[in-house]
Amino acid sequence: MNRRRQYSLKEDLCSVWSSTILVLVLTSPIWFFLLYALPPKFSVELVDAKGLDGGAPLMSTAFNITMRAANRRLHDVCYRHGEAAVRYSGFTVAWGRTRAFCVGKKEARDVPVVAWTDGLGVPSSLRRRLAADARAGAVELELEARLFRGDDGSGRPTVLSCKMTPGGAKPPGFTPCTVFAVQNWASDVAPAWMQYF
């Protein structure tokens, strides 16, 4: 006599629950590793800019910038030094270096960056456009920085690209940077709650 087995919702739910727990347990080391290597986030604030009037054939500019590094990792991150260039319409109008700094785990730190140039020859058309933008309060600058790791012995560069506007209609504050560094795919797709283990 062949008896038919009766359908049980309880058994199906227990099976799904067990499979879910098993998948989470088996993949938790992978998620931990991927989220452990999250890259720091960077943002910048242009504190002061001098020499953007564009009047003289040879420009002398100086920029005082605050770069904020927010470490999302579970360990300290250190940079031994860095290089920074301020650009206007693709033309470098100032450059400088960053000092060595470390950011503790899950902390943020402000790092001053000073970039300047003295006697820089600029094409007259660019000078006129810069002067007009400065009078209108619409100068758009870009900070490009390369920071070199100092804590892991690799010297891998982290490249930043940040937009800045001196004065103008926008209120002063930090603007986020685009970070080009060795990172993992989970840093962009993982939900926020998973990034704070």
Q: Identify whether 25 is part of a domain.
A: no
Tell me the per-residue pLDDT of 70-122, one tens digit each, with 9 for 90 and over: 988 777 888 888 899 999 988 888 999 988 999 998 899 999 999 998 888 87
| Tokens 């940079």 belong to residue | 79
Q: Identify whether 65 is part of a domain.
A: yes
Q: In whole angstroms, give the CA distance from residue 132 to residue 55.
A: 10
Confidence of residue 177 (pLDDT cuts 50, 70, 90): very high
Q: What is the number of domains present in the chain?
A: 1
Q: Identify whether 6 is part of a domain.
A: no
Q: Identify whether 188 is part of a domain.
A: yes
Q: Identify whether 18 is part of a domain.
A: no
Confidence of residue 33 (pLDDT cuts 50, 70, 90): low
Q: What is the CATH number of the domain that holds 70?
A: 2.60.40.10
Identity at 193, one-letter amino acid code = W
Q: Identify whether 4 is part of a domain.
A: no
79 to 40, 74, 115: CA distances (angstroms):
11, 16, 18
Structure tokens at 68: 């904020």
* Domain residue limits at 108: 37-196
Q: In whole angstroms, give the CA distance from residue 175 to residue 197.
A: 26
Q: Identify whether 82 is part of a domain.
A: yes
Q: Identify whether 23 is part of a domain.
A: no
